[in-house]
Homo-oligomer: A and B are copies of this chain.
Amino acid sequence: MARPLTFWFDFASTYSYLSALRVEETAKAAGIELIWRPFALGPIFAAQGWDSSPFNIYPAKGRAMWRDMARIAADRGLAYRPPADPSRFPQNSMLAARLAIVALDHPQGPLFCREIFRAQFERGQDIAAAAILADCLDRAGLPANLAAEAESEANRPRLREATERAVAAGIFGAPSFTLGEELFWGDDRLEQALIWAQR
């Protein structure tokens, strides 16, 4: 019995977008069950002494990332568009993540997650805006009242708990994939993680 693969992502992460758009069909083709797990990269970066994305802190690394994203998105035929205003990267993904956690209690959860990534990286929208998140719920066929549930006292701790589990799993960036104790970092390790899952 193959083990399930956990897909850890932050909605603000460019490479998480790349994985989100292909992980479901790729895992399905490999016959591997998939668990979507949003977490918050910000506190993990802060614990490393970073007050922003390393792609902003280290400009050469950032320039290479944007070019890499453009090449890969073109190769994959994605509708990706880089941010019109790069100073707004990374976006605040906390609201989106809390909403995704409740959305993922429903079968449309993964579709909703992809819609958030598309809003940001294909339509250039602000995923911290309630109206954009409401539109993503609608596109995924989920009820608008999930937004209130996401911000409830019962739900708010779940993102922090997911982030604590990410840290405990050794996660330091996104996307990451875990399979028991094995940690794979980066969209470019998805295929390898699935091969391990099949063993």
Binary contact track A63-92/B, C-beta < 8 Å → 1, others 0 = 110011001100100000000000000000
Tell me the chain A residues, 131-183 only, with Cβ under 8 Å from chain B.
167, 170-173, 182-183
Compute how far the CA of A75 lies from the CA of B191 in the bound complex, rounded to whole angstroms: 13
Flag if A60 contacts B192 (CB, 8 Å).
Answer: no
Q: State A71–B68 Cα separation when bound (angstroms).
A: 24
Residue of B nearest to A65 (CB): B185
Q: Is the interface of A mostly helix, strand, loop or mixed?
A: helix
Instruction: Find the B residue at minimum CB distance from A44.
Output: B60
CA gap between A136 and B15 in the complex, in Å: 40
Nearest B-chain residue to A167, judged by Cβ: B60
> What residues of chain B lie closer than 8 Å to A184, measured between beta carbons?
68
Given A48-B58, A58-B48, A188-B188, are A170 and B71 neighbors across the interface (CB < 8 Å)? no
How many of these chains are in the complex?
Answer: 2
Given contacts A71-B192, A192-B71, whether A170 and B48 have CB atoms under 8 Å apart is no
B71 touches A171 (CB 8 A): no
Q: Does A106 contact B (CB under 8 A)?
A: no
Q: How far, in angstroms, from A72 to B182 measured CA to CA in the complex?
A: 13
**Are B185 and A68 within 8 A (Cβ)?**
yes
Q: Report yes or no: A183 in contact with B71, Cβ–Cβ below 8 A.
A: no
Verify B172–A60 contact, CB threshold 8 A. yes
Tell which of A60, A72, A75, A172 has the most Cβ of chain B within 10 Å. A60
Q: Closest Cβ of chain B: how far from A147's Cβ, in Å?
A: 33
The 4 closest A-B pairs by CB, nearest first: A60-B172, A188-B188, A61-B172, A60-B170
User: What are 25 sample pairs from A and B whose C-beta atoms fall under 8 A apart?
Assistant: A48-B58, A58-B172, A60-B167, A60-B170, A60-B171, A60-B172, A61-B172, A61-B173, A63-B170, A64-B170, A64-B172, A64-B185, A67-B182, A67-B183, A68-B184, A68-B185, A68-B189, A71-B182, A71-B192, A71-B196, A72-B192, A75-B192, A186-B188, A188-B188, A188-B189
